[in-house]
Amino acid sequence: MPPPARRNNLAWLPSHWNGWSPPDPRVVEEELKKEFTDKERAEAWDKAAKAVKTHHDELVERWQKAMDSVLVYAGLFSAVLTAFNVQSYQLLQPAPTDPMIAALQQISAQLNSFSINPSFINSTQPALSPNQLQPPFRAPVSAVWINTLWFSSLVCSLASASIALMAKQWLYEESQGLSGTSREAARLRQYRLNSLIKWRVGAIILIPSVLLQVALFLFLAGLLVLLGTIHETVADVITVLTCTLFVFVFIITILPIFKLDCCYRSPQAYGVFVIVKQVWNGTLRLATSGLHWLYLEIPVDNLFEGPVHACYNYTRDKLPRISTWNGAEQTEVARDNGFLDRHMATMAYTTTFATEHLDTLHVLLSDLPCNQAFSCFSDIHRSWTQLWGQHEASSHSEKLSAILLRKPFYCALRKVLAVDPDKRDDAIGHDWTELSSTYLFSSYDARFYLPRAREFFSTLALISLGDSVFSDKTSALLYDSSYLYRLDWESLSSDITYDSLKDGEFFYSPVYRNFFNPLTSS
């Protein structure tokens, strides 16, 4: 049965839609133009152009600096290597004085063979032919290896310098005429940036650095061969040093492949990463396809059907695929955003020790997870210990503790209230146990730094109503604070009173009960 005739490709619509037609594209385009003003579109394009310009300029500048470093190193290395090659290539040819030495040896042999008789002088040493005077020259095997390694090293060094020079020329031409962020300049910049990506300039930029590393290893290998023919002890010492360097370079090259947070990322490490990625992902694709084909070929209810299907699911879903470095990095950042935010908040102070960052720390703590908020105090206290020492930290940081234990500490306690009481110990983490042995919960003088606001004591009281370890520590802190400040419980807010707290677990201890009972009797 032939398909029904389609009118304007709308035959699938219900019959009562016969009079309907899609909107005119020109009308839709006019509506889109009116949705935003020219100013809004101009600002949006200008913002996008500035972002692309910043990325482009930073990329080109980074590549330019990398090529400058390569040219300097390649020039110095080639100069040193040339001095060795000037001496080593002479090992591949006979010495220019060899014929003269051979002739003198022949004359000496003839003189030694003279026999003197009264009537004549006779020589028993026959004259040698030119080939016998100077036999064919054959370079030693060690000389061949030395020159092969060293001249290969020189070629790699000069090749890296040549590629770096060409790359600098490309980048210079690419940057011409790209000033400003107008739409025309932005389009030209984007066109050239797309060209850099399309023609893999970033990959070519990595080649000179790899060539220099190869040149260094070739030179060291030739040096070991040379020393091996001269002196055994010297060769052994240099071999140990060279092997140590090789092992170190090998470790720092492969380490970023297995540790995503490792910063030893170099061009050679990236090359190894790409190879490992292709081999691993290709092997998994091949294994998955093979197992899937095998599973389809196995008859139903066969003994091997279950194991093959399990292996297929495991290779398809369980074994991880290697992504790009940037993709893996973004995944790690997204997973540890609270941890990174905490270090950013504390490092602003621990690297400068400017008190202005402590004054605004409570603002940053309000945006951190509960466990990371308390870890900030541990980070800051450790920085004081490293700066002044374990015994001097408390005396030198007295004024700083007064700042830290007011608004920031109160904000951290409020973060605790935002967590369910049964989950507070897990949410707070373990860093607060370090604080309990430093200054927040153990130092008696630190109680004088705590704020006397009613909200602070109410927060302590609410946290104390529980059976967690953190609640016990907070109860002790509230006990000391109430003693130091002669706390009048009636001054607390109306919903936090002594009567409401008396029925809670805060007063499970007889010490607390005996301490607070006089407050009610008065």
Q: How many domains does the chain have?
A: 4
Mean pLDDT, residues 353-382: 84
| pLDDT score for 500 | 41
| pLDDT score for 205 | 92
> Does residue 132 lie in a domain region?
no
Last residue of a domain, one of 283, 306, 332: 332
CA dihedral 201, 205, 211, 216 (to 10 degrees): -170
> What percent of the chain lies above the pLDDT cut of 90?
22
Mean pLDDT, residues 15-23: 69
| pLDDT score for 488 | 46
Q: Which residue has the tokens 């050679």?
A: 268
> Does residue 115 lie in a domain region?
no
pLDDT at 227 over 70: yes
Reduced to 3 states (helix: H, G, I; strand: E, B; else coil), residue 121 is: strand
- Tell me if 70 sits within 8 A of 160, measured CB to CB: yes
Please list the alpha-helical segments (H only) found in 175-266: 183-198, 201-230, 232-258
pLDDT at 11 over 50: yes
- Lookup: tokens for 14: 């219900």
pLDDT at 444 over 50: no
Mean pLDDT, residues 207-231: 93
pLDDT at 277 over 50: yes
| pLDDT score for 508 | 40
Single-letter residue type at 150: W
* Whole-angstrom distance, CA of residue 107 vs CA of residue 422: 108
- Tell me if 218 sits within 8 A of 153, measured CB to CB: yes
- Lookup: tokens for 361: 């720390």
pLDDT at 30 over 90: no
- Lookup: tokens for 216: 């260094």
* Whole-angstrom distance, CA of residue 462 vs CA of residue 474: 10
Q: Per-residue confidence at 495, pLDDT binned at 50, 70, 90? A: very low
Reduced to 3 states (helix: H, G, I; strand: E, B; else coil), residue 348 is: helix
Is the same domain home to 283 and 296? yes
Single-letter residue type at 342: R
| H-helix or E-strand spanning residue 123 | strand 121-123
Q: Which residue has the tokens 């990322």?
A: 265
> Does residue 211 lie in a domain region?
yes
pLDDT at 329 over 70: yes
pLDDT top residue among 66 and 378 = 66
Q: Per-residue confidence at 370, pLDDT binned at 50, 70, 90? A: confident
| pLDDT score for 518 | 38
| Lowest mean pLDDT, pick from 10-24, 322-336, 374-388 | 10-24
pLDDT top residue among 31 and 20 = 31
Q: Which residue has the tokens 């890296």?
A: 160
Mean pLDDT, residues 168-193: 88
pLDDT at 161 over 50: yes
Mean pLDDT, residues 122-142: 63
| pLDDT score for 429 | 58
Q: Which residue has the tokens 């102070």?
A: 349
> Does residue 34 lie in a domain region?
yes
pLDDT top residue among 22 and 326 = 326
The shares of helix, strand and coil residues in the chain, as percent rounded to the nearest 5, are: 75, 0, 25
> Does residue 80 lie in a domain region?
yes
Is the same domain home to 142 and 62? yes
Mean pLDDT, residues 195-212: 91
Is the same domain home to 160 and 214? yes
| pLDDT score for 95 | 65
| pLDDT score for 501 | 43
pLDDT top residue among 451 and 324 = 324
pTM over 0.85: no
Sequence-separated contacts (24+) of 417-426 with Cβ below 8 Å: 417/459, 417/462, 417/463, 418/370, 419/370, 421/465, 421/466, 421/468, 424/370, 424/463, 424/466, 424/468, 424/470, 424/471, 425/468, 425/469, 425/470
**Which residues constitute the domain of residue 215?**
25-94+137-230
Is the same domain home to 315 and 207? no
pLDDT top residue among 336 and 444 = 336
| Lowest mean pLDDT, pick from 209-213, 242-246, 317-321, 476-480 | 476-480
pLDDT digits (tens, 9 = 90+) for 35-49: 778 888 888 888 888
- Tell me if 412 sits within 8 A of 377, measured CB to CB: yes
Is the same domain home to 223 and 84? yes
Q: How far is CA 228 from CA 85, 146, 149, in A?
A: 17, 11, 15
| H-helix or E-strand spanning residue 283 | helix 267-297
Is the same domain home to 33 and 151? yes
pLDDT digits (tens, 9 = 90+) for 295-308: 888 887 777 778 88
- Lookup: tokens for 215: 């040149």
**Up-side HSE of residue 358: CA atoms within 13 Å toward CB?**
20
| pLDDT score for 472 | 66
pLDDT at 480 over 90: no
> Does residue 443 lie in a domain region?
no
- Lookup: tokens for 474: 């907070």
pLDDT digits (tens, 9 = 90+) for 456-465: 666 766 676 6
Q: Which residue has the tokens 């720390």?
A: 361
Q: Per-residue confidence at 69, pLDDT binned at 50, 70, 90? A: very high
Last residue of a domain, one of 230, 256, 290: 230
| pLDDT score for 170 | 93
Gyration radius from the chain CA atoms? 41
- Give the max Cα distance, the chain: 152
Q: Which DSSP letter does residue 129 get? A: P
Mean pLDDT, residues 130-154: 80
| pLDDT score for 380 | 85
Last residue of a domain, one of 332, 358, 380: 332
Is the same domain home to 317 and 345? no
* Whole-angstrom distance, CA of residue 122 vs CA of residue 124: 7
Is the same domain home to 343 and 315? no
Is the same domain home to 37 and 145? yes
pLDDT at 490 over 50: no
pLDDT at 473 over 70: no
| pLDDT score for 225 | 93
| H-helix or E-strand spanning residue 88 | helix 38-88
Computed over every residue of the chain, the mean pLDDT equals 76
Q: Per-residue confidence at 77, pLDDT binned at 50, 70, 90? A: very high
> Does residue 131 lie in a domain region?
no
- Tell me if 414 sits within 8 A of 367, measured CB to CB: no
* Whole-angstrom distance, CA of residue 345 vs CA of residue 335: 18
Q: Where are the beta strands (DSSP E) in 428-487?
A: none
Single-letter residue type at 186: A
> Does residue 290 lie in a domain region?
yes
- Tell me if 425 sits within 8 A of 468, measured CB to CB: yes
Q: How far is CA 466 from CA 318, 423, 435, 462, in A?
A: 42, 11, 20, 8
Which region holds residue 243: left if phi is over 0, alpha if psi is between -120 and 50, else beta? Answer: alpha
| Lowest mean pLDDT, pick from 87-91, 339-343, 391-395 | 391-395
Beta bridge partners of 180: none
* Whole-angstrom distance, CA of residue 179 vs CA of residue 122: 95
Beta bridge partners of 122: 115
| pLDDT score for 317 | 84
- Tell me if 424 sits within 8 A of 373, measured CB to CB: no
pLDDT at 467 over 80: no
* Whole-angstrom distance, CA of residue 57 vs CA of residue 54: 5
Q: How far is CA 229 from CA 88, 235, 452, in A?
A: 13, 8, 83
Residue 411 CB coordination number (10 Å): 18
Is the same domain home to 41 and 190? yes
| pLDDT score for 456 | 65
Cβ burial of 297 (10 Å; 0-12, 13-18, 19+) is exposed
Beta bridge partners of 123: 114
Is the same domain home to 479 and 391? no
- Tell me if 189 sits within 8 A of 195, measured CB to CB: no
Reduced to 3 states (helix: H, G, I; strand: E, B; else coil), residue 120 is: coil
Is the same domain home to 282 and 381? no
Q: Which residue has the tokens 């909200």?
A: 455
